[in-house]
Structure 1
């Protein structure tokens, strides 16, 4: 999870020609594909717990959100894999590969220049994960403790800024394994990933969080206000009826 969230190139790509087959009518031409009977969603998997493959299907928090949007529109959802660079730049939307991009995309001013964002649907704040017997109770209690971080992430940036004794890992799974085998005393990363790990590991505890402004949004093509309003309407509904809270518990253990 990079500092600007999800900026690394995708591991799973589809050729542009294949993506175009799942394309949609552009906003400039009179509306998204959702108007014609379907909602095409660009994402970038694997990126658990937001999107990953299970039993041949792309599932996760973002896909559950896409299901809610499609249900409110009264249409079927189609998922298209895309290079994340085409998502954060708005290119996948501009070339009509999809109606919406839902892929753990942090809302930034730079990205707002290329696409429109919904209201935030998740605040992916920093979190501190440790073992139950580490003695680490929060960020302020780290002291000289060894801290694991994933390279190129906001967790690494924050650890560097704080001057902590940080050990870098290329892969998040290696970081978690080091914590579980006492190679490091704690790990710092986004609450979505750390919460999911804590929920599945009885020996681990999520002991602290820090709001660093990483708010995630659903992206639509610049100027597609009709679809954007529909997405925001769904977000308002699922906040109000408890669906969003249940999704957090189901996919992130939060």
Structure 2
């Protein structure tokens, strides 16, 4: 996702208490709710959001999860995954309440979000794209007309579609959004190329008809003022960029 999601403070506060632990490297339920207990580095994300985070063989994996593994390794800790509503991540609620140490969930770095969380250096640049069925007649954002476009709530895909004055239908879960497109509930989907292209690869009836470079970058979010952890995250990003690990991750999870 690029620009990926915007603030919805009221929902964020209400959703914070609903965070649930799923598919983590450690199965200790007690430690899961603690923010980086003695030997753990807890990572919140909103899954599924392939290729960044999704479930495979009973475990949540993906680009963001591999990044979390690298950070945890450099910290000398074990990564734990915590499932979270996205609004609690961009608003900082999940971090402020100690549900997790970091949010790594395809979160675009924006000035609005910087007021609530501290961001690492950018780790990925994504683009907005439009996904539709091959026989839809839609050739791009400007040809959607009065057809309905599916968007994931609080994302840059939603922002862009609304900026284009399109009719949108909001989904909390990206998988439900894709299912609606495939079943004809919506006629197109606005989101990030990394995620939409993966869906198109798995469904020959779908195609990405347009991409828009919005020059937005993804970052790891930590609690406001947590400079020690932020410095550690940035050191890991420097390491994996220089030693080739980042390139391997992009090839593994995105085919780039």
TM normalised by structure 2 equals: 0.71
Structure 2 equivalent of residue 13 of structure 1: 19
Cα pair 2:196 2:208 within 8 Å, conserved: yes
Q: Please report how far the alpha carbon of residue 121 of structure 1 lies from its aligned counterpart in structure 2 after TM superposition.
A: 1.7
Distance 1:60 1:151, change over 3 A: closer
Q: Distance in 2 between matches of 1:181 and 1:42?
A: 31
Cα pair 1:5 1:105 within 8 Å, conserved: no
Structure 2 equivalent of residue 118 of structure 1: 120
The answer to whether residue 54 in structure 2 is matched with residue 52 in structure 1 is yes
Q: Please report how far the alpha carbon of residue 87 of structure 1 lies from its aligned counterpart in structure 2 after TM superposition.
A: 2.5
Cα pair 2:161 2:168 within 8 Å, conserved: no
Q: Distance in 2 between matches of 1:130 and 1:199?
A: 13
The answer to whether residue 211 in structure 2 is matched with residue 205 in structure 1 is no
- Show CA shifts across 1:56-76 (max 9, x none): 322222111101111223322
SS at match of 1:125: strand
Cα pair 1:46 1:52 within 8 Å, conserved: yes
Which range moves more in the overlay, 53-62 or 129-138?
Answer: 129-138
The answer to whether residue 137 in structure 2 is matched with residue 148 in structure 1 is no
- Show CA shifts across 1:87-133 (max 9, x none): 22323323333221212222222322232110122233211334567
Matches of residues 29-40 of structure 1 in structure 2 within 5 Å? Answer: 36-40=38-42
SS at match of 1:78: strand
Cα pair 1:147 1:188 within 8 Å, conserved: no
Distance 1:241 1:138, change over 3 A: farther
SS at match of 1:45: coil
Q: Distance in 2 between matches of 1:213 and 1:184?
A: 27
RMSD, matched Cα: 3.8
Q: Which runs of 5+ in 2 are unaligned?
A: 22-28
Structure index of larger Rg: 1
Structure 1 equivalent of residue 219 of structure 2: 217
Q: Distance in 1 between matches of 2:165 and 2:99?
A: 43
Structure 1 equivalent of residue 164 of structure 2: 162
Q: Distance in 1 between matches of 2:214 and 2:136?
A: 25
TM normalised by structure 1 equals: 0.72
Q: Distance in 1 between matches of 2:19 and 2:97?
A: 16
**How many residues are treated as equivalent by the alignment?**
241
Q: Distance in 1 between matches of 2:233 and 2:148?
A: 39
Cα pair 1:199 1:253 within 8 Å, conserved: no
Matches of residues 1-254 of structure 1 in structure 2 within 5 Å? Answer: 4-5=5-6, 13-14=19-20, 22-24=33-35, 36-130=38-132, 142=143, 148-150=149-151, 152=153, 153-162=155-164, 166=167, 168=169, 170=171, 172-173=174-175, 176=178, 187-254=189-256
Distance 1:87 1:149, change over 3 A: closer
Q: Please report how far the alpha carbon of residue 194 of structure 1 lies from its aligned counterpart in structure 2 after TM superposition.
A: 0.4
Distance 1:80 1:128, change over 3 A: closer
